[in-house]
Amino acid sequence: MAVLLFAGMMIWTAWVLLASVWAEADRTDKDPGNYVSWHDAEEIAEGPAYQGPWRMNDSDFRYVDDASAAMDDHGNTALVWVDQAKKDVLFQWHGLQDEADRGDPVVVSDSPDTFSWLPRVAFCPKDDNIIYVLWQEIVFSGGSHGGEIFFARSTDSGETFSEPVNLSQTPAGAGKGRLTAQNWDNGSLDLDVGPDGSVYAVWTEYEGALRISRSVDQGESFSEPLTVFDHPEKPARGPALSTGPDGRIHLAWAVGEQQWGDIKYAQAATPENRDEMPEFSEPEVLIESGGHSDAPDLAVDSGGTLHLVYGESADGPFRAYHIYYVSAATGSGPGLADLSEPARISTPHPGDYDSAHFPSLKTGEQDQIYVTWELFPDVRRRPVGLGFTVSVNAGADFAGPVVVPGTGDPEDGTNGSRQGLLSNKLAAGPDGSFSIVNSSYLDGEQSRIRLIKGAANNKP
C-alpha cells in the first residue's frame, strides 16, 4: 500500500520558522507530500557485516553491497548488487507484483577469485529482453592500483549472462576516481544506451584518463577505448553519461587533485558510420564556482533539455556539501544554450544532517526530475540515509527534500557502497514511477539491500 511521503516522517514542522531558508534554496518551494507517494521498503538481500584488513583479493570481506537499478517500459525493476563473500555481481528482477515476480539471483560476473564492485545496469531500447551490466573488477594488471572495467549482457531477460569481457585492459587502475593521492572512489564509471541501440561504457583511471568505448551490435563487441580527457595532475573522476533523443552524447565529470575543482563537459554526435568512434568536443568547464564541485550526474529528457546535478562545497574537499541543479538546451552542435544559474536543491537538510553529496538524477516521461543523494550526519563519517527531491515541471522548482523511507535508521548502521560512493541508486519508469535501491552495513551485525518504490504525480 502506497503511503504519502509525510506519513511516519516527523521532519517537517515549523514552516514559518523555515521561510528564510526556503528563500535561499530558491527551487525547493513545493510541499513534497502533494506530489509523491511511497511503497513500503522491501528486503532484497541480506548477509553478515564483516570487512577484514585489505589484502587485495585475499581480503576477507563478507557483506552485500553496491546496489544499482534500472526500470523497463513496463515498470519492472532490474537490480544488480555485489555479494562480497562470493566476489560476484548478482542480478534479479523485481516485477510489478512485488515478491511474486522475483526469481533467484543470477550470477553475472562469475569471478570468485577477484572482487567485483559497483555495477551499473541498463536495457536495450529496441528489445528489453537484452540487459547490459557494467562493473569494476579488481584485477591487478601491473600498475599501482588494481581495476579493470568488465561488461556482460543477457539476451534472455536476465536468465543467463554472457561471459564477461574486459573493456579497459590497462594497468592504470580503471574504475578509480582519484580525489587525492590517498583518497579515491571506486565505481568511477557509467553506462548508457543511445536511441539507435549503441551501447556506451565510460570510465576513469587512477592515473587520470577518461575513456569511452562503444558497441554497435547490442553489446556483442566493443571498440577500442577512446580517450576523451587525460591529465595526470588533474585526474577525471565520477563520469556521467547520457545520450539525447537526437543521438548526441553528453559527458560530464569532476576533477581531482584540485582544492577548487570544477565540473567539465564534452559532447559528440553519434557517428553515421558504425565503424567510427564519436568525435568529442574540446572539454570545457561547465560549472565554475568558488567552491569544490564534484560527483556530477546528468540526463537528457525527451525534449532535448539537459539536466545536471552535482555536489558543491564552499570550503573545499572533505567539508560539508550541498546538491545543486542546472539545466541547458542542447542543440545540433557543440556547446549548450541557456545554461541556468545553479540552484541549491538539498536544503534545508531533512533531519539532523550536516552534508549532502554524491547525487543521482533521472528524468520521467512527464517532466519529472528525480534526485537522490547521500546524507551525512557528520562529514567526517560515512553517510546514513538517502535524501530525495522531485520536480514535476522540468526543473522549474523542486519539492522540499526528505529522507527516503526505509533509509537512515541508525539501527541499520551506515549506507553501503563501502568501496566508493560514486554509485547509481535511482531508476525511473513509466507513469511517474521510480525505484531507489540502497545498501546498509551495521558492523558485526548485518548488511542488507532494500528497494523503495514510489510514484510522482504532476498534480497536487
- Cβ-based neighbours of 246, under 8 Å, separated by 6 or more: 304, 330, 332
> Which residues on adjacent β-strands are paired with residue 116?
137
pLDDT tens per residue across all 460 residues of the chain: 333 333 333 223 222 222 223 333 445 666 666 789 999 999 999 999 999 999 999 999 999 999 999 999 999 999 999 999 999 999 999 986 555 456 789 999 999 999 999 999 999 998 989 999 999 999 999 988 999 999 999 999 999 999 999 999 999 999 999 999 999 999 999 999 999 999 999 999 999 999 999 999 999 999 999 999 999 999 999 999 999 999 999 999 999 999 999 999 999 998 888 888 899 999 999 988 889 999 999 999 999 999 999 999 999 999 999 999 999 998 766 678 889 999 999 988 888 899 999 999 999 998 899 999 999 999 999 999 999 999 999 999 999 999 999 999 999 999 999 999 999 999 999 999 999 999 999 999 999 999 999 999 765 4
Domain locations along the chain: 3-456
How far out from the chain centre does Cα 82 lie? 15
Q: What is the pTM of this model?
A: 0.92
CA pair distance 97, 140, nearest whole angstrom: 42
Q: What is the pLDDT of residue 24?
A: 39
Grid coordinates representing 1 are 500500500
CA pair distance 28, 319, nearest whole angstrom: 23
Q: What is the pLDDT of residue 19?
A: 28
- ∠ CA 58-62-63, rounded to 5°: 135
Look at the alpha carbons of 406, 70, 90, 144 in this order and tell me if their dihedral is positive or negative. negative
DSSP result, 447-460: EEEEEEEEEE-S--
> Which residues on adjacent β-strands are paired with residue 242?
250
- Cβ-based neighbours of 144, under 8 Å, separated by 6 or more: 173, 206
CA pair distance 200, 278, nearest whole angstrom: 10
CA pair distance 286, 255, nearest whole angstrom: 12
Out of 2.40.50.180, 3.40.309.10, 3.90.1150.10, 2.120.10.10, select the CATH number for domain 3-456: 2.120.10.10
